[in-house]
């Protein structure tokens, strides 16, 4: 390699490495700090006063009273981490066999094509308790949330087993970062 070739290579390496550095609040930094990341689509928004539970919280659990809404999401893809498995449920195999005979579905009876109600499948939904769905996820209408896909980043809450803290939400296609709030070690950086 000549001197000019080595210089060009060095400049390329410097420029390339500066492009790959993750800025705080960017998707790459959030992905590295998250325990679980999803590609999701909002399904429903309802007030906390209506009841229900949430898998994750925007704020630390000590400030749970400030949460005003629960946003339900459909998980399109798990990007990082694991998510619980849940049983399929449904009628027992004996009940399915009875229904097959009663409804004259003899092929189903002969092939023993019955669903296992104890089979585990990945949970395909989750919910987040937030102060304001508009500022956090860009959801303006509670009645019919926009079908915009998002990337959601969650961190396990060390103090509460099975709970998560929302550390960031980014739109999937372009746009500015949505309110990328951070929680490190179970303590949210939100103002009190």
The pTM of the full predicted model, rounded to 2 decimals, is 0.62
Residue 64 CA to residue 93 CA, distance in Å, equals 42
CATH code for the domain defined by 23-84+123-185? 2.40.50
Beta-strand relationship, 150-156 and 36-47: antiparallel
Token digits for 115? Answer: 């669903």
13 exposure class (CB count in 10 Å sphere: 0-12, 13-18, 19+): exposed
Query: How many residues appear in the chain?
Result: 192
Spatial CA neighbour of 80 closest among 39, 24, 121: 39
Residue 32 CA to residue 75 CA, distance in Å, equals 20
- pLDDT score, position 10: 56
With bands split at pLDDT 50, 70 and 90, how would you rate the model's confidence at 192?
very low
Residue 63 CA to residue 46 CA, distance in Å, equals 19
- Least confident segment among 13-22, 61-70, 131-140: 13-22
For CA atoms 153, 156, 159, 163, the dihedral sign is positive
| pLDDT (average), residues 139-158 | 82
Spatial CA neighbour of 145 closest among 78, 67, 71: 71
- pLDDT score, position 24: 44
| pLDDT (average), residues 146-171 | 83
Q: Which helix (H) or strand (E) holds 38?
A: strand 36-47
With bands split at pLDDT 50, 70 and 90, how would you rate the model's confidence at 4?
low
pLDDT digits (tens, 9 = 90+) for 73-123: 888 888 888 777 778 788 888 888 888 888 988 888 888 888 888 888 778
With bands split at pLDDT 50, 70 and 90, how would you rate the model's confidence at 29?
confident
Beta-strand relationship, 69-80 and 85-87: unpaired
Residue 87 CA to residue 3 CA, distance in Å, equals 65
- Tally of CB atoms within 10 A around 39: 16
Spans of all domains in the chain: 23-84+123-185, 88-119
């Amino acid at each position: 390699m000549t001197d000019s070739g080595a210089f060009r290579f060095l400049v390329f390496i410097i420029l390339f490495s500066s492009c790959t550095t993750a800025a705080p609040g960017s998707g790459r930094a959030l992905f590295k700090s998250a325990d679980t990341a999803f590609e999701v689509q909002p399904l429903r928004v309802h007030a906390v006063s209506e009841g229900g539970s949430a898998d994750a919280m925007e704020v630390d659990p000590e400030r749970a009273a400030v949460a005003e809404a629960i946003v339900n999401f459909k998980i399109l893809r798990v990007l990082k981490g694991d998510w619980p498995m849940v049983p399929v449920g449904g009628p027992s195999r004996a009940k399915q066999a009875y229904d097959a005979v009663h409804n004259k579905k003899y092929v189903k009876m002969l092939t023993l094509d019955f669903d296992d109600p104890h089979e585990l499948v990945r949970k395909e939904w989750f919910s987040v308790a937030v102060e304001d769905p508009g500022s956090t996820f860009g959801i303006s209408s509670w009645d019919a949330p926009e079908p915009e896909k998002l990337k959601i980043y969650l961190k396990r809450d060390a103090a509460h087993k099975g709970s998560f803290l929302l550390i960031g939400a980014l739109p999937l296609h372009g746009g500015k970062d949505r309110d990328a709030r951070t929680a490190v070690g179970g303590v949210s950086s939100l103002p009190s």
